[in-house]
Structure 1
Amino acid sequence: MAKLLDKIVVVDIEATCWEGKNPEGMDNDIIEIGVCLLDINTGEITNNRGIFVKPERSVISSFCTQLTTITSEMIEKEGVTFQEALRILKKEYDTQSRAWASYGAYDLKQFQRQCTDLGKGYPFSPSHINVKTLFALKQKLPHELGMDGSLQELGIPLEGTHHRGKDDANNIAKILREILKN
């Protein structure tokens, strides 16, 4: 499979979470995959969407809803299975042929863990870009910043709702676009 170098797939996930430790018998499940494409030639951000995913090993806590604004009702109504979400990524975003980016390593590790635990094929190419580390290196910062801190450093307003995959993917793409400009 030829590597596509025209666009970078930018991903931000939200997963089930709790205040403190996970409750007995519950594992973090991806509940939203925010994704968009960053055209490396034009800087255009396209195909931005949030894919709601039905959790298979946990439930959405009130803490999780407070953090993400995602409710069990939203997932029930609009969610797809994890398997279907992986199919969408591969088919509609060519994730196995393109470099992909996330802010930090959490998304990468969560996808690896959940795919392994559920016996699903990993949907991404090995070409992962950690925007959090890359930004800190590019700006010669003494430490990494959170996504909103990086946006502030660039003078770009945070758009949408922080901790919603669709909005965060779009904001991360803007940071990456700035890094690639220079």
Structure 2
Amino acid sequence: MISLDHVLVVDVESTCWEGSPPPGEVSEIIEIGICPVEVSSGVRGERRSVLVRPTRSSVSPFCTQLTTLTAADVVGGVSFAEACAVLRKEFRSDRRVWASYGDYDRKMFERQCKDLGVGYPFGPRHVNVKTLFALVHALPREVGMAEAVRLAGKKIDGTHHRGHDDAYNIAGLFADLIRK
């Protein structure tokens, strides 16, 4: 049974390169940012970051420039399977609605779970905040997260492209949307 008390807002950061990945490497999750939103009040919970140790890629200088995460930061992270277990155990992710800004995060989890044979950590309900924001604000197209924060009359709290900070900002957008 799906619990509707909180929505888990999730934002992932992944290994990335300025161009194509180097031969033999694939983009994989290196940080899972989480920020629960209490549905009844719209109050955001604490932001959390789970660093994930990559096994099929390395952190490029471009990735570090974008996310501030270095190879040294993520080498001490947990395995992807352990990160998924944290989501299930500490956040009950398999029994709650979860949300992300766009479909990238959902698709990354689906692909990486399939590739590594790890159980999908979420239940069947996902909210795409990017689409919801555009619909509620009657925008002609979807906009990026930073633009949505600006349109909502807010400023980005923390570092853009860090999972825990982006999850917190997306949670703020989502909380505003569910209060409307």
3-state SS, counterpart of residue 158 of structure 2: coil
Residue 161 of structure 1 deviates from its aligned partner by: 0.3
Q: Following the alignment from structure 1 to structure 2, what is the Cα–Cα distance between the partners of residues 20 and 146?
A: 21
- Which residue pairs with 1:5 in the alignment? 4
3-state SS, counterpart of residue 34 of structure 1: strand
Residue 36 of structure 1 pairs with residue 35 of structure 2: yes
Q: Following the alignment from structure 1 to structure 2, what is the Cα–Cα distance between the partners of residues 177 and 156?
A: 13
C-alpha RMSD over aligned residues: 0.7
How many aligned residue pairs are there? Answer: 180
Tell me which amino acid in the other structure corresponds to 2:117: G
Q: Following the alignment from structure 1 to structure 2, what is the Cα–Cα distance between the partners of residues 80 and 124?
A: 18
Residue 121 of structure 1 deviates from its aligned partner by: 0.4
- Which residue pairs with 2:98 in the alignment? 100
Alignment of 1:1-182 (within 5 A): 2-77=1-76, 79-182=77-180
Q: Following the alignment from structure 1 to structure 2, what is the Cα–Cα distance between the partners of residues 152 and 36?
A: 20
Residue 4 of structure 1 deviates from its aligned partner by: 0.6
Deviations 1:145-164 (A, max 9, x none): 10011111110111000000
3-state SS, counterpart of residue 143 of structure 1: coil
Structure 1: which 4+ aligned runs deviate by more than 2 Å? none
3-state SS, counterpart of residue 109 of structure 1: helix
Q: Following the alignment from structure 1 to structure 2, what is the Cα–Cα distance between the partners of residues 108 and 76?
A: 24
Unpaired stretches in structure 2, ≥5 consecutive residues: none
Unpaired stretches in structure 1, ≥5 consecutive residues: none
Residue 93 of structure 1 deviates from its aligned partner by: 0.6
Deviations 1:90-135 (A, max 9, x none): 0011111100000000000000000000011000011000000010
Residue 29 of structure 1 deviates from its aligned partner by: 1.0
Q: Following the alignment from structure 2 to structure 1, what is the Cα–Cα distance between the partners of residues 44 and 94?
A: 19
Residue 3 of structure 1 deviates from its aligned partner by: 1.2
Q: Following the alignment from structure 1 to structure 2, what is the Cα–Cα distance between the partners of residues 55 and 122?
A: 18
Tell me which amino acid in the other structure corresponds to 1:147: M
3-state SS, counterpart of residue 46 of structure 1: coil
Residue 76 of structure 1 deviates from its aligned partner by: 2.1
- Give the % identical residues: 50
- Counterpart contact for 2:54–2:75, Cα < 8 Å: no
Deviations 1:53-110 (A, max 9, x none): 0001100000000000001111123x11111100000001111110000000000000
Residue 138 of structure 1 deviates from its aligned partner by: 0.6
Deviations 1:5-50 (A, max 9, x none): 0000000000000011111110111000000110011111113111
TM-score normalized by the length of structure 2: 0.98
Q: Following the alignment from structure 2 to structure 1, what is the Cα–Cα distance between the partners of residues 132 and 13?
A: 22
